[in-house]
Structure 1
Amino acid sequence: MKRLILCLPLCICLNVFAQTSKTAVDSLEKRYQQCLSEGKSNFNCALQYYTQMDSLLHSVYTELYDNLDNNRRQTLQISQQQWEEKRETYFKDIDVRVEKKRPLTLSGLDDDMIVTDNKAAFLKTRIVELLGKHS
């Protein structure tokens, strides 16, 4: 019974954090779309979005890690390491594909914007996954 009483505030805290983080993801997405709709610098919009998603991912991971017991921390660490390997592979693959196609496309930042957007979407997927597993 004591464990249940002690666990309840943690569960409530994690749920509030998850809801707040989901709101943050939605807010970043909305600001990104607004920035793109202005049509000024899509690459800068994508770069800012990527940077913000990367920061949010770090915050979500840290918050979850800090609120888990040792067994669940270890599971989260392993999961994160596996995801980081997938991220590295995905980022390398997408960079190589774009560089191969660059001579065939118009010059400018469009390719870079698309790559950055795809990388941000990859991070967003991980954030949502972490929130879903631990909410």
Structure 2
Amino acid sequence: MVAQNKKAAIDSLESRYQRCLAKSQYMYGCALEYYRDLDSMLDLVYRQLYSKLDTSRRQNLMVQQSLWKEKKEAYFKLLDTRVEKLHKKTLAGLDDQVIATDHKAAYIKDRVTELISRYPTAG
């Protein structure tokens, strides 16, 4: 039941994001809000999981999260570098930022979904 509630919350964020984008007004703001909401959800899910696991599983979760963060930083740096290069060549720099932010949000959403699936009863 807990995992279903979290998945429903993700679906709700996704729906709100899509409605915001459909308005075609300040799409970067839509993407940024969606990213921040998912990042907050990731933090909440992680903390809830951590508090409910035994010592061994906590340690495992910490190691996994640390490795994930390293990959995330590398991926985000790649996205930011790409946006910076494109921004200098095109007038659509803000569009590139929207796309990069959307990709970052999707990366975080995948992690939240993975944590919920891997630990469905802890949280």
TM-score range, shorter chain: over 0.9
**Please, what TM-score do these two structures have when normalized by structure 1?**
0.85
Q: In the alignment, what sits opposite 1:106?
A: 91
Q: Provide structure 2 residue ranges, at least 5 long, that are not aligned to the other structure.
A: none
Deviation, structure 1 residue 98: 1.5
1:1-135 matches, cutoff 5 A: 16-135=1-120
Find runs of 4+ consecutive structure 1 residues off by over 3 angstroms: none
1:51, 1:42 → 2: CA distance?
14
Q: Provide structure 1 residue ranges, at least 5 long, that are not aligned to the other structure.
A: 1-15
Greater Cα radius of gyration, structure 1 or 2? 1
1:115, 1:79 → 2: CA distance?
24
2:2, 2:62 → 1: CA distance?
19
Q: Percent identity?
A: 50
Is the Cα contact below 8 Å between 2:86 and 2:93 reproduced in 1?
no
AA partner of residue 63 (structure 1): Q
1:89, 1:46 → 2: CA distance?
20
1:116, 1:36 → 2: CA distance?
13
Deviation, structure 1 residue 108: 4.8
Question: Aligned-pair RMSD on alpha carbons?
Answer: 1.0
